[in-house]
Amino acid sequence: MKPIYNFSAGPAVLPQEVLQQARDEMLDWHGSGMSVMEMSHRGKEFMSIAEKTESDLRELVGIPKNYRVLFLQGGASSQFAMVPMNLLRGKTQADYIHTGQWSAKAIEEASRYCTVNVAASSESDRFTSVPPQHQWRLDPQAAYVHYTTNETIGGVEFHWIPEMDPDSAIPLVADMSSNILSRPMDVTRFGLIYAGAQKNLGPAGLTLVIVREDLLGNALPFTPTLFDYRIHAQNDSMYNTPPTYAMYITGLVFEWLKRQGGLVAVEKNNVAKAQILYDLLDKTDFYHCPVARQDRSRMNVPFTLRNPQLDDAFLKQAQVSGLMQLKGHRSVGGMRASIYNAMPLEGVAKLAAFMEEFASQHA
């Protein structure tokens, strides 16, 4: 096997141990004679997988009992509609924080169901920072406040959780698709958290939702049954057949995270990985990172070469060195190294060494 490091923004690298276990269990899960893909979702074998997957997540994060964990389909893009459809609760407006392309998509879809108040935006600095909370103009009539904890394309991350007025009872909603489980988090600060799986959790096709129970049961009348969180909560995510194999792989990722020492250890590793790249970017004029220091993402590190004519050579030589998928999103250009939980420190170190060498060759 060709040894490579895969810096794709998602679907993204998975832990080798997880893939090895999936390979070894492909034809026969735990002596059942079946692949997990072949199991009835209501059979005892898969039920045990589903239960362990949820309980491992609850343990990793520390999810309180009054929060439901839902394993859904449709990606974060479906959540962009499900959130307003379920959380407006008789209100007609919601607050959104605009920090880049993913929050923009959430805003666009929500605008079809309610009046969106963009309570803060970093558009004026081209989304290279997150707006500090003192600039936010929250609407006291908002049904909820939505923000994107990490902008995968811009490489901008919230390293703090917004403070909500405890008297207002307005829930905070977070799209955590690209940084969930990259650090410990206090679930009680949120009304609802959602994340597509294909960055930090597992395979594409699974969407995780963590929602406070009292927010369920208020879907708009025209909400499709499958878009009603309550239906999924009442049926333990088995109202219809869930994406069983994706849940199994995600469960293996949760077990792997526990073996790493849990989210405190994972965060430490993620800080170390990001530090290697940002230190390099800051000490050279050859590369440039556009993001404000205090808001730089630990998951997605965007950078440009000062001389963009070298972009193609950079990508080609990186690929020859086994450093894959470094091309930046087409909308922003340049490079992007996505270094989710499953990217080993060695991969980041190898990338940094390559970048230094490339810079010295072309200085």
96 contacts: CB under 8 Å, gap ≥ 6: 103, 106, 107, 110, 116, 117, 118, 119, 145, 146, 147
Under rule CB under 8 A, residue 263 binds a second copy = no
Give least dist CB 22 to a second copy, A. Answer: 6
- Residue 256 a catalytic site member: no
**Cβ-based burial of 3 (10 A; exposed 0-12, middle 13-18, buried ≥19):** exposed
Which ranges in 167-261 belong to alpha helices (H)? Answer: 229-234, 244-259
Site string for a second copy, 320-339 (x = CB under 8 A): --x-xx--------------
- Report the alpha-carbon distance of residue 301 to residue 325 in Å, rounded: 13
- Residue 105 a catalytic site member: no
Binders of a second copy in range 89-128 (CB under 8 A)? 109, 112-113
Binders of a second copy in range 168-227 (CB under 8 A)? 196, 198, 202-206, 220, 222, 224-227
Contact pick of 249, 266, 291, 299 for a second copy (by CB under 8 A): 249
Closest CA to 336 of 176, 199, 206, 218: 199
- Report the alpha-carbon distance of residue 216 to residue 38 in Å, rounded: 32
In this structure, how many other beta carbons lie within 10 angstroms of the beta carbon of residue 188?
Answer: 12
Given the residues 102, 256, 295, 327, the one annotated as active site: 102
Instruction: Considering only the stretches 47-55, 71-79, 92-100, 351-359, report the one whose residues sit in contact with a second copy under the rule CB under 8 A.
Output: 71-79
Q: Kindly tell me which of 13 and 170 has the beta carbon lying closer to a second copy.
A: 13
Tell me if 105 sits within 8 A of 155, measured CB to CB: no
Give least dist CB 311 to a second copy, A. Answer: 17
In this structure, how many other beta carbons lie within 10 angstroms of the beta carbon of residue 133?
Answer: 15
SS3 of 77, please? Answer: helix
Binders of a second copy in range 270-309 (CB under 8 A)? none
Query: Site size for a second copy, by CB under 8 A?
Result: 69
Residues contributing to the site for a second copy (CB under 8 A):
1-4, 6, 8-14, 16, 19-20, 22-23, 26-28, 31-35, 37-41, 43, 73-78, 80-82, 85, 109, 112-113, 196, 198, 202-206, 220, 222, 224-227, 239-246, 249, 322, 324-325
- Could you give the residue numbers annotated as active site? 102, 175, 199
